[in-house]
Amino acid sequence: MSSFLYSQLEPPWRTIPLGKGGNETIGTAGCLLTKMATIASLNDFQITPGELNRIACREGYFTGGNRLYFSLLELFGLNVEVIDCFQNPAPVDRIDGALKCGGYALAQVDFVPRTRSIQEHWVRIAYLESSNDYVVDDPWTGRETSLMARYAHYAWPDPSRAIYRLALYFPSDQGKSFDPLADSYREQQYHITSKEAYLE
């Protein structure tokens, strides 16, 4: 089990304002940021959600207040591929392939799957539990749990229905170009690639 199972509700950062505007905090709406911090830490950078929030604010990875760019983790040597699964089943083969090659997967799920409206929540897919379930790292609790037991409707046969959006991260050929202790990564001649916005 990972030692970086951060919860967005942990006291050191739960009351920190998320991004640069609005009334949200890491505790109320920082699920995506929190799991990005977990992935950065698993990729050999030990960084907390609070520290990552500060870096994202400083380096311009929030837009519209607390809209977070998926490409934030490019600073930590990871490329991202975003897949929309609202209209089609999630490609579980792509998830499995990413995990097998040393990549990471973030999944948007419905926080309360038994209601009509979708309440956005992000979890990190940790590993394949069985042919029809994943163990996910949940930022709400800071613990690992079953995707199907917690975030799927009882009538859904497999995880492809329980996932509404994916962000798959893969090690970059350029390596890890960011020093989180530096005042600005731009001082290290790091070139930003395309950003993809996400409203949490």
Q: Read off the pLDDT of residues 142-187 as tens digits, 9 standing for 90 and up.
A: 999 999 999 998 888 899 999 999 999 999 875 555 565 555 444 4
**pLDDT higher than 70, residue 121:** yes
What is the Cα–Cα distance from 127 to 146, expressed in whole angstroms?
A: 10
Give pLDDT, residue 190.
Answer: 37
Each domain of the chain, given as residue ranges in start order, spans 80-170
75 touches 45 (CB < 8 A): no
Q: Up-side HSE of residue 135: CA atoms within 13 Å toward CB?
A: 12
Give pLDDT, residue 65.
Answer: 78
pTM over 0.85: yes
Q: Read off the pLDDT of residues 59-116 as tens digits, 9 standing for 90 and up.
A: 999 988 788 999 999 999 999 999 999 999 999 999 999 999 999 999 999 999 878 8
